Amino acid sequence: MSKVIFPYVSSQITVDKLTGISKKIEYAYTSADEGNPNKVTETQGSLVTETSYTWEKKGSGSSKNRITQQIITRKGIGTTFKETKKFTYDAKAPAQRSVLKMNV
């Protein structure tokens, strides 16, 4: 049995050299998601976008490699916005996306 090693990036900071605006991106992982981030948080000033993912396996022997749900929460400009997306797949076509719910 071979071991699988997952490299993890915990955070990164980027700076737009023209505007001087910086953005911090933080990644959260769980062992159940086999190296895929289950939450990504982007912070730019007071604006925060949190994206949570639900993953599934494609095939019997593979790692989790497909997103089945994505929840995006945007806050920092007064009202919090939340959007939930579900993804479905068939054998030959790419993912089909449907927006289930948007909160204001």
Residues written for the chain: 104
Q: pLDDT (tens digit, 9 = 90+) per residue, 70-79?
A: 999 999 988 8
Q: What pTM value is reported for the model?
A: 0.78
> What residues does each domain of the chain span?
11-103
Enclosing H/E stretch for 24: strand 22-29
**88: exposed, middle or buried (C-beta count within 10 Å: 0-12, 13-18, 19+)?**
exposed
Q: How many CB atoms lie within 10 A of CB 15?
A: 10
Show the tokens assigned to 84: 């939930």
Q: pLDDT (tens digit, 9 = 90+) per residue, 1-47?
A: 566 666 788 999 999 999 999 999 999 998 887 788 899 999 998 99
Show the tokens assigned to 2: 């071979």
